[in-house]
Amino acid sequence: MSATSDPVTERHFQYIAERTLQEDDLLRSLKREARAEGIPAIWISPEQASLMQILLRLVKAREVVEVGTLAGYSAISMARALPPEGRVRTIEISPHHADFARRWVARSDVAGRVDVHLGDGREVLRSFGTDTADAAFLDADKAGYPVYLTESLRIVRRGGLIMVDNAFAFGQLFDEHPTDREVGAVRTFNEVMAREPALQSIIVPIGDGLWVGVKP
């Protein structure tokens, strides 16, 4: 392999991180409080947030659907890339996480631009109208991804964006004996995504692997 196509290394990612705007006080406080409340310390990196914001701006997104709110870090990040009338509809199955996210959205600069829907992604997505979103971000239980994708393909307009988190299965994609029970579901989903004719998509090796797809 030529030097110009060497695989990226930890050093490259460090280099990228050092050249990315870091999170602000609000998101830093959100992370600290989430830990204090016993919410799993799972959030996208500033680099991934920046890439997602750039993509949302490129498709001129106003309406975004998210599955898997958790603490609300990504919902707040995405809302910041929308115009004032833009909205993030984010779905969360845990009442505690949904309550936490609502509180932090309310005290954020994007208060009023994020609606937290408490419920199962399968059901809540079904209640969203066809062609009512410009983008979707899937980041919930991995076994649900194929269904969330099918629904997103209906909800997102042509030319819209579908992003899916954790294509690298928490760093265990190539492990023979993975410890995380969702690794198999990620592997299965990656094949579904790769073969989905209604999307042009690619895994971007940022964070834990981000599927980026556009609906032609």
Nearest distance in Å: CB 32, ligand DHB = 18
Please name the residue ranges forming H helices in 156-196.
Answer: 183-195
Segment 124-163, which members bind Mg ion (CB under 5 A)?
Answer: 139
CA distances from 171 to 42, 179, 180, 207 (A): 14, 11, 10, 10
Q: Which span sits near ligand DHB by CB under 6 A: 89-97, 113-121, 165-173, 194-202?
A: 165-173
- Nearest residue to Mg ion, using CB? 165
69, 152, 166, 190: which one binds ligand DHB (CB under 6 A): 166
86 or 124: whose CB is closer to ligand DHB?
Answer: 124
Region for residue 8 given its phi and psi (left: phi exceeds 0; alpha: psi -120 to 50; beta: otherwise): beta
Q: Which residues between 75 and 134 bind ligand DHB (CB under 6 A)?
A: none
CB 165 within 8 Å of CB 207:
yes
According to CB under 5 A, which one of 166, 193, 213, 214 is a site residue for Mg ion? 166
Q: Is 66 in the site for Mg ion (CB under 5 A)?
A: no
Residue 134: both structure tokens together: 């410009």
Q: Binding ligand DHB by CB under 6 A: which of 23, 66, 165, 196?
A: 165
Among 42, 59, 173, 203, binds ligand DHB (CB under 6 A): 42
Task: Tell me which of ligand DHB, Mg ion, none is bound by residue 63, counting a contact when its beta carbon lies within the kind-specific cut-off of 5 to 8 angstroms.
Answer: none
Do residues 103 and 39 touch, judged by C-beta distance below 8 A?
Answer: no
Site pattern 125..154 for ligand DHB (x: CB under 6 A): --------------x---------------
Closer to Mg ion by CB, 102 or 142: give it.
142
Burial of 156 (0-12, 13-18, 19+ CB in 10 A): buried
Ordered DSSP codes for 47-65: HHHHHHHHHHHHTT-SEEE
- Give the pair of three-digit tokens for residue 154: 């209906």
Q: What residues does 117 pair with on adjacent strands?
A: 91
List of residues contacting Mg ion (CB under 5 A): 139, 165-166
Task: Provide the binding-site residues for ligand DHB, judged by CB under 6 A.
Answer: 42, 139, 165-166, 170, 208
